[in-house]
Structure 1
Amino acid sequence: MRQTLIAATLVASAALPLQAQETNYPLNLTNCGVEISFDAAPDSAVTIGQSATEILYSLGLAPKVSGTSVWFNPVLPEFTAVNDGIERIADNDPSFESVVAKKPGLVAVQYEWHVGESGIVGTREMFHDIGIPTYIMPADCDTKDNSTGGDGTRTGAFKTASVYKGISELATIFDVQDAGEELVAELQTTEEDAIARASGLKLPDDLSAVFWFSSADLEIDPYVAGQLGAPGYMMGALGIENVIASDEEWPTVGWESIARADPDVIVIAYMDRRRFPADNVEKKLEFLRNDPVASQMTAVQKGRIVQMDAHAMSATMRSIYGLETLSEALSEMSFE
């Protein structure tokens, strides 16, 4: 009897998750090619980029966030109330002075073009010289060359491992590893379920798609997703061919070229941002239905247009939710 109880206890113990280790400070990390160090968990943070904001919220660190900036869409619903109580420094690009004025213990950044060698908010050196460490999400620098200007060029395909890396490193910086492990596990389950759903569908072997993020003007070439970014990951994971051959993150490609490729599915971004006319999803839909070239594409004729959260099209935690959106949309389409 005693041996049975001991065996049962051992089995039960093995089924329990292991407690994550505490962070040993000082902590030294290499982040996007820059050495950063922490003597203790930062007491506050300012975010430049919605991805960094939502990851910190998801790790239970909202009380430490003193300011946010660079928003594409409303915050994830579960964080609406807490986000309403945190200052939004800017909808888009904040000034260097407005970030520094918050005296943050860390500046967490989504895009290197905001804070980097040629950062439009400031360089990392500018922040580090006044004692403010910066952390750039690895999804924007791993397998990516941001020295090419604009949105940069991928040197290798985006993988969700870079998102999980960012979550784990921020969790380590703030000494909340348990929360980090739980968040990564939840996202991995979502990713696996989305792929399994699509694999169970009878999709054509040559299924193709194009992702349209926005356009500086509806009369000129649109910004569409290249092969190696987050949309490329979604298409590859679900067995879809991207009709855009470029390795640039968001190349501009003419509608005539896209129409010749005739994608089976068109994925369009919806967002609150209104920097360009085509940021408005209704303007995108109106264009696709009425433009003499775009309206003739099979995806438009068959109504195979998927609306996706713009933030999911960037290399972020939401890319995994975007994969789920696309997988669910495919399950409701007919390709006969």
Structure 2
Amino acid sequence: MTVTSSRRTRFLPALAGLAALPLVLGACAGAPEAEDKGPAASGYPVEASSCGFTSTFTAAPERAVTMNQGATEVMLALDLSDRMAGTAYLDDAVPEKWAQDYGTVKVLSDEYPDNETLLAAKPDFVYASYASAFGPEAGGAQDELTKLGIGSFLSLFGCGENKPSADVSFASVWDEIEIVADVFGVPERADALEKEQQGELDRLAAAKPGAGLDVFWFDSGDKTAFAGAGEGGPQLILDAVGATNIFADLDGGWADVSWERVVEADPDVIVLADASWSTAADKIKQLEKDPALKGLRAVKAKKYVVIPFSESTPGVRLADGAVSVGEQLTDLAQQG
């Protein structure tokens, strides 16, 4: 699986004679401009746009706050922990490779910090994976943050109402990483990550550890199954390993499906998302206890693949998720 792309253009370079811009310009029509803070730094201004909202920067942020694990891990992968004033809302454990850097960042809240807590951290950049982070009970609206001179960025895949700014693909995952890297003036770090991950995907494409396997991606649910559908992280991972998603025909990244459909499909393998709010162990108990589900071939043979939830969503760990699923499928094949 090879994704070819030149560096995507997302930022508007300063034009000759352009008046000096404030750190963050009005990010939507009608937003007032902040006080002029002098000339832009070299390589600036840059624009960070997603979900119909744009923040403009004339210098790299120094006090970023991340509002979800996916956003946090993009910052850590780009080696930007020293630019972080706070973080919040983990779905599962931060990988060991970033644990030390993560330990240096203040945790503002177990879930979303409210606006008062967020502002107390004195951020100059707020980065979130989901639109809910900018809700009235959370950090507050992006345009309100702009009025306070605070830039913000929402993931390309987190716009809400199942309407991402970009098609879900590894290329668009790398687009988001590049946006953040450019905001902080470290584009070379994004390029290195993309090259590394493309290499991993190429190796998976050659090996095809999932070839011939029908897979049910089980995220959560009891009365119905919340399953990986045909347009999200699970589908990208299953495509990368050469497996077939039994619910690839469903729109969106995730979908509620009846257990009758799962039983009818009778998958070869079940991928279990492991999250603090729905663990893989709990899902295995559910599958092995239910009178109908315990008869599935995958359940009887214990053909389970376990993946952290944060490796199943579009983000910097999605390629890691593909590698992990591929390795586990190879192990299952060797077990017979």
Give the alignment's TM-score, normalised by structure 1: 0.81
Residue by residue over 1:243-279, the C-alpha shift from the partner in whole angstroms, topping out at 9 and shown as x without a partner, is 22321332222222211111111100112x23xxxx1
Q: Alignment partner of 2:44: what SS?
A: coil
Query: Is 2:211 aligned against 1:203?
Result: yes
Q: CA deviation at 1:332?
A: 2.3
Q: CA deviation at 1:202?
A: 8.4
Paired residues for 1:33-44 under 5 Å: 33-44=52-63
Query: Is 2:148 aligned against 1:130?
Result: yes
Letter matched to residue 285 of structure 1: I
CA distance in 2, matches of 1:174, 1:69: 20
Pick the aligned partner of 2:81 from 62, 65, 69: 62
Q: Alignment partner of 1:248: what SS?
A: coil
Letter matched to residue 198 of structure 2: Q
Over 3 Å counting, the alpha-carbon distance change for 1:81 and 1:29 in structure 2 is: closer
Over 3 Å counting, the alpha-carbon distance change for 1:229 and 1:79 in structure 2 is: same
Letter matched to residue 268 of structure 1: L
Which residue is 2:246 aligned to?
243
Which residue is 1:5 aligned to?
none
Larger relative helix fraction: 1
CA distance in 2, matches of 1:104, 1:154: 25
Which residue is 1:188 aligned to?
198
Paired residues for 1:122-201 under 5 Å: 122-141=140-159, 146=160, 148=161, 152=162, 158-198=168-208, 201=209
Which residue is 1:265 aligned to?
269
CA distance in 1, matches of 2:141, 2:164: 21
Over 3 Å counting, the alpha-carbon distance change for 1:75 and 1:41 in structure 2 is: same
Please say if residues 48 and 153 of structure 2, whose CA atoms lie closer than 8 Å, have aligned partners that are also in contact: no
Over 3 Å counting, the alpha-carbon distance change for 1:319 and 1:95 in structure 2 is: same
Over 3 Å counting, the alpha-carbon distance change for 1:192 and 1:71 in structure 2 is: same
Query: Is 2:218 aligned against 1:212?
Result: yes
Q: Alignment partner of 2:134: what SS?
A: coil
Q: CA deviation at 1:291?
A: 0.9
Q: Alignment partner of 1:94: what SS?
A: coil
Q: Alignment partner of 1:289: what SS?
A: helix
CA distance in 2, matches of 1:241, 1:170: 33
Over 3 Å counting, the alpha-carbon distance change for 1:23 and 1:327 in structure 2 is: farther
Residue by residue over 1:23-66, the C-alpha shift from the partner in whole angstroms, topping out at 9 and shown as x without a partner, is 61122343332222001111110001111111111212101111
Letter matched to residue 226 of structure 1: A
Please say if residues 112 and 119 of structure 1, whose CA atoms lie closer than 8 Å, have aligned partners that are also in contact: no
Please say if residues 47 and 183 of structure 2, whose CA atoms lie closer than 8 Å, have aligned partners that are also in contact: no
Please say if residues 23 and 173 of structure 1, whose CA atoms lie closer than 8 Å, have aligned partners that are also in contact: no
Please say if residues 50 and 165 of structure 2, whose CA atoms lie closer than 8 Å, have aligned partners that are also in contact: no
Please say if residues 153 and 247 of structure 1, whose CA atoms lie closer than 8 Å, have aligned partners that are also in contact: no
Q: How many residues align structurally?
A: 295
Q: Alignment partner of 2:271: what SS?
A: strand
Letter matched to residue 125 of structure 1: D
Please say if residues 115 and 137 of structure 2, whose CA atoms lie closer than 8 Å, have aligned partners that are also in contact: no
Which residue is 1:17 aligned to?
none
Q: Alignment partner of 2:253: what SS?
A: coil
Pick the aligned partner of 1:76 from 83, 95, 101: 95
Which residue is 2:113 aligned to?
94
Backbone CA RMSD of aligned residues: 2.4
Q: Alignment partner of 1:135: what SS?
A: strand
CA distance in 1, matches of 2:193, 2:139: 29
CA distance in 2, matches of 1:40, 1:310: 34
Which residue is 2:288 aligned to?
289
CA distance in 1, matches of 2:190, 2:98: 17
